[in-house]
Amino acid sequence: MMETNTKVILIVSIVVVLIIAGAAYLLYKPAPSQAVKIVVAARKGTYSEGLKLAAKEYEAKTGIKVEVVEFDYAGLHEKLAQEVVQATGAYDVVMMDDPWLPEFASSGLLVPLDSLLAQRGGVDPDFIGSAVNVCRYKGKLYAIPYVGNVQLFVYNKQLFAKYGLPEPKTWDDVLHAAEVIHDKEGIAGYVFRAAKGNPIVTNLLPIFWGSGVEVVDNEGNVDLDTPRAVQVFNFILELKRYAPEGTENFNSPEVKAALANKATAMSIVWPGWVPNLDTKVWKVIVPPGSKPMIGAWLLGIPKSSRHQKEALDFILFVTSREMQKKLALEAGVPPTRKSVYQDPDVVAKYPWYPVQLSALENSKMRPRLPQWKRIEDTLANYWHQAFTGQMSPEAALKGAAQEVRAILKGG
Amino acid sequence: MGSERWVGWLLVAPALLVLAFLTLFPIVYNVYLSFHETRITYRRIVYVWRGTENFAKMIRDPLFAAALRNTLYFMAVATASEVLLGLGLALLFKEGFRGREKVAPIILLPMMLPTIVVTAFWKTLLHPEFGAINNILEALGLPPVNWLGDPRVAMNSIVLVDLWQWTPFVFVFLYAGAQTVPRDLEAAALVDGASRLQLYRHIVIPLLRPYILVATLLRLIDTFRLFDKVYALTGGGPGVATESLTLSVYRYAFNYHMLGYAAALSLVMLGILSLVILAYLAYTRGGGVL
Amino acid sequence: MRAGRVLVYVLVALALAWTLFPIYWVAVTSFKPNSEVITKPPTWIPLHPTLEHYYRLFAEEHFHVYIANTAVVSLGSTLLALLLGAPASYAVARSKIGAAAGRGFLAWNLVVRMFPPIVMAIPIFTVFRQLGLIDTRLGLIIAYQVYALPYTIWLLNGFFRDIPWELEAAAMVDGASTLQTFARVALPLAVPGIVTTVILSTIQTWNEFLYALIFIYSQEKMTITVQIAGYIQEFKIEWGLLASSGLVSSLPVLALSAAVQKYFTRGLALGRGVKG
């Protein structure tokens, strides 16, 4: 009896598998290519939703189909890194985090846009200067800024009023307020987005910058192992005492949840998270202590693309004034044009936009180094170990400095 | 006989060629690569001669050191616990109980599943706040554990997942071996007044020794390759607490495109595995295989 | 004695609970709406059971594409391994290339199976790059020979050795060439062994992750293991989809494993070189 049953299971599963395989092949046989299609490689999230919205409009307007393929942060970087060598032409438009630009520009992946744009009137001065700057490498333009991301800071103004705390202007203010609120209110005073990788680096850098430690600069000077830097890290560890349990593994979803639940009183935020915050409770300001970190997302064109002209048309469409306003209002995508930040309809919906604009105009970018991805990973490794108590700050910063110097030397 | 040989080689040739390409060539090429480093330019990878620089770098590389430490720890703890538990299960089944034939396939389920699926299951179970394991602990009044985020616990959580997945393998392997213990030997011992415990200790387990040794060797070889679980559960974190050898080679090769260094690491990995296996064979004087 | 028996049943029950609990939990999660997944205390039986995650898995995530890819790649690599390995293992089993060479060949296959797969990955990757085989299912099928070929050769060698020699000897006496004997006499007799080998090898490559991650990166060609890894990163607390994808991915392998249950121990033993 067992034999027959097993045979039946076997036959059924083989048949099922074959059916699925056949069906899938039939369904996904590449359609005979008629119209031009543009493929966009994007990072999954709010901004890719914006691209999809724009894609629909673009298709309605021009008949050109735009497909948005989504990846997570690390996956997108990996795909682009592969594309440098494979040059498959799979993507016509690539979305990039601004620190990646030096890497992909220097390795020759991206089409330089200066001459192409010159034919269309050059770079529109409506774009915010700092956003355009991160699209340049060694003076040449390689991308157009799509998302005007800049780090902002929110604090619970109700709680601050309750305890008579002033608006934080320095990180010492933050620490003091965190301590007070943690002790008196019983919630976390501050929350770190400290998951290993890109999150912990982008979250701790502003604290270093705010105390005058560059970490790494554009020329490759490293001041990561100075006594001042160690002081800063000890400060960070002290601030951690008022942070929620598990903060060392928090990524965007967890921080957003903490803010939504009012489980914390302060946090660094990216603009995309702000629309979901109750403005009666939270006030949006420029991060205390130093120039805010810009984290723009850019759109570029790989040299391997077979539809470069159409790609550029789409990019200019997405970043046009009308589209940026629409995406800001409907998808919550922070714009990169001054006029949109000052548009009355937009400001009515997002009252903190003037703050964001001034933050962008005064923003600071991460070092323009092609090896940034490796440097970021190295910093993340060491900082995360020190943050979770596996290493002392001195040892971690020393180790990190050593490795970063080696990477910059070409090792 | 001559033509027989000729035909024989003809039959073997295709497999031989493919194997040579897929297994011999890579080792040789790794050696070549390990003395170079790659520079990525558009459409081309350029190989630059670097001499023994990659090996020198490896000695000073803290990521590699952590990966080596973690992998060896994982190998030792996972293998030991899986063999012990698997042996226990095998003996339990040997004892016999009603419904044994129906229960056995269920016990084997975990090792049939794709590793990444096992990983996905445990990712949900080990979540510090919503995971079932912590919920159970809380229900029992115990404090929750930060399974994947606490650097002291993380690697052990990986061991736990591996245990769940692969103990059944050791179990079924040893159970098959246990079937070969001659019944009359057992019967004789029992008649002579041996207790069940003595029976196991002095007769069954010693007879199972070759199987236990082979199972141990197989688990050692498999745990050395740790990748899927750490890639998906922790990314090597927190910090570098769960970085594994394969993960670090993968990182250097495919995230940083340092193929030369990655090739050097691969060779060293192979060397370390060989040392472990040789040590094991020497220590167990043949390890049940020879 | 009584206490001893009770202990046995208690331990068996514990082993069952330990084994089944994660699977049960994930199965239940796959039928819970995401809002219910994060309720505390957790619900052991879904309060609002839903099929939305399964629907989403196929309608939105197109999971059937990934299943098809995995099926194509694992069956393809198994068949290729069979084509290459069956003649080879027959030749070795019947000492057609001499006893020493045969033993050496088998030994090499055994040694290769011990290598960590990442060791071969980088050189194969660089060569595939030159040949344009990166990001192709064919490339992955060839790369999978690293896993499938030695496994197939080893298993089939055992099965061929178990076939009584007399029938082949008779055929050769009647004037059949080696090739004819192989094709007309040995192969048909080895069919159960071949079926077992096919299933075991398919299971192995179906579950594989590292090479699938390295050699394929276009969304539409991905295998289910890489997809699920993506879901793990992506769905941090929305586990419904993760659970349903895990279960759906496991079903084919479980079915295949069930089919070879009784050969399993034998296959294991033969596969590992220990007569059992």
Q: Residue A1's pLDDT is what?
A: 37
Q: Report all structural domains of chain B as residue ranges with CATH numbers, in order of start.
A: 1-25 (no CATH), 53-283 (1.10.3720.10)
Report pLDDT digits (tens) over B4-36.
677 888 888 999 999 999 999 999 999 999 999
Report pLDDT digits (tens) over A209-225.
988 899 998 888 999 99
**Which pLDDT band holds residue B38 (cuts at 50, 70, 90)?**
confident
- The alpha-carbon gap from A249 to the nearest alpha carbon of chain C, in Å, equals 12
Q: What CATH number is given for A37-148+295-361 in this structure?
A: 3.40.190.10
- The alpha-carbon gap from C166 to the nearest alpha carbon of chain B, in Å, equals 18
Q: What is the mean pLDDT of residues B149-154?
A: 87
Asked whether residue B271 carries a pLDDT value surpassing 90, the answer given is yes
Asked whether residue A326 carries a pLDDT value surpassing 50, the answer given is yes
Q: What is the mean pLDDT of residues B183-209?
A: 81
Determine the Cα–Cα distance for residues C219 and A28; give it in Å rounded to an integer: 12
A390, B57: Cβ pair inside 8 Å? no
Asked whether residue A347 carries a pLDDT value surpassing 80, the answer given is yes
Determine the Cα–Cα distance for residues A322 and A133; give it in Å rounded to an integer: 22
Q: What percent of chain C has pLDDT over 70?
A: 94
Could you give the maximum distance between any two Cα atoms of chain B, in Å? 79
A374, B256: Cβ pair inside 8 Å? yes
The two domains A37-148+295-361 and A152-293+371-409 share their CATH topology (first three levels equal): yes
Provide the β-strand partners of residue A96.
A298
Q: Is B62 at the interface with chain A, CB within 8 A?
A: yes
Report pLDDT digits (tens) over B99-130.
888 888 899 999 999 999 999 999 999 988 88
Neighbours of B90 (CB within 10 A): 25
> A152-293+371-409: which CATH number, 3.30.70.1400, 3.30.70.600, 3.30.930.10, 3.40.190.10?
3.40.190.10
Determine the Cα–Cα distance for residues B96 and C4; give it in Å rounded to an integer: 12
Provide the β-strand partners of residue A41.
A69, A94
Closest residue on chain A to C62 (Cα)? A24
A196, B62: Cβ pair inside 8 Å? no
Closest residue on chain B to A195 (Cα)? B238
Q: Where are the beta strands (DSSP E) in A249-395?
A: 266-269, 282-285, 297-300
Provide the β-strand partners of residue A155.
A266, A283
Closest residue on chain A to C261 (Cα)? A6
Cα separations in angstroms, C151 against A161, A324, B49, C202: 70, 57, 37, 11
- Look at C216 and B167; give whichever has higher pLDDT: B167
Of A2-16, A257-271, C121-135, the one with minimum mean pLDDT is A2-16
Contacts of B275 (CB under 8 A, 6+ apart): none
Contacts of A48 (CB under 8 A, 6+ apart): A42, A68, A70, A95
Q: Residue C272's pLDDT is what?
A: 43
Of A31, A44, A48, the C-alpha closest to A331 is A48
Question: Which chain A residues contact residue B146 at CB under 8 A?
Answer: 245-246, 249
Terminal Cα-to-Cα distance of chain C (whole angstroms): 31
Asked whether residue C175 carries a pLDDT value surpassing 70, the answer given is yes
Q: Is C213 at the interface with chain A, CB within 8 A?
A: no
What is the pTM (predicted TM-score) of this model?
0.84
Report pLDDT digits (tens) over B156-173.
999 999 999 999 999 999
B254, C214: Cβ pair inside 8 Å? yes
Asked whether residue A54 carries a pLDDT value surpassing 80, the answer given is yes
Of B109, C71, C264, C192, the C-alpha closest to A15 is C71
Determine the Cα–Cα distance for residues B241 and A80; give it in Å rounded to an integer: 28
| Domain boundary assignment for chain A | 37-148+295-361, 152-293+371-409
Neighbours of C163 (CB within 10 A): 18
CATH T-level topology, domain C60-272: MetI-like fold (1.10.3720)
Q: Residue C269's pLDDT is what?
A: 45
Q: Which value does ipTM take for this structure?
A: 0.90
Backbone φ and ψ for A266, nearest 5 degrees, come out as -145, 155
Tell me which H or E stretch contains A156.
strand A152-156
- Look at C276 and A357; give whichever has higher pLDDT: A357
**Which pLDDT band holds residue C271 (cuts at 50, 70, 90)?**
very low
Q: Residue A34's pLDDT is what?
A: 55
Beta-sheet pairing, B44-49 with B36-41: antiparallel
CB-nearest partner of C242 from B8, B19, B124: B124
